[in-house]
Amino acid sequence: MVQRGEITDRAWQEIEPLLPEYGQSGGQWRDHRTVVNGILWKLRTGSPWRDLLERYGPWQTCFDRFNRWRRDGTWDRLLAHAQTKSDAVGEVEWEVSVDETLIRAHQHAAGARSEPSEEDPKGGS
């Protein structure tokens, strides 16, 4: 059973072929789907990697695969595929939002004096 926030069977069928092959022979590799769900949980919650839930396996596995896939472009391919596929069937409505926020610091937030003020009888800054 798919838990809330995890990849559905339909979505998994779409992205599984885009993922790299499992590692070298001789090693036990954790299932890609479990690792991807762990990565998504971490990104969704903002928790530290070390707080990853046990059902996703060792946090180091998710962390290492996240970084490896970032470096080799796997995440970029997945995003491009999802955007292209969803756009083609009309599931995505593209909307651009531009925010022109300007924040100014108060004049006294510019920094402390480096030399004492002449008006300050105690010589403090």
Tell me the Ramachandran region of residue 74: left when phi exceeds 0, alpha when psi lies from -120 to 50, beta otherwise: alpha
**According to the model, what pLDDT value does residue 106 have?**
73
Residue 62 near residue 51 (C-beta atoms within 8 A): no
- Positions of the chain with pLDDT under 70: 1-2, 23-28, 86-96, 107-114, 116-117, 120-125
Read off the pTM. 0.64
Please name the residue that has the structure tokens 């059973």: 1
Counts for the chain of helices (H) and strands (E), in that order: 4, 0
**According to the model, what pLDDT value does residue 50 have?**
95
Q: In this structure, what is the dihedral angle of CA atoms 50, 52, 55, 59, given to the nearest 10 degrees?
A: -40
Domains of the chain, residue spans: 1-16+30-85
How far are the Cα atoms of 6, 107, 119 from residue 110, in angstroms, in the given order? 47, 6, 20
* Residues constituting the chain: 125
Tell me the Ramachandran region of residue 46: left when phi exceeds 0, alpha when psi lies from -120 to 50, beta otherwise: left
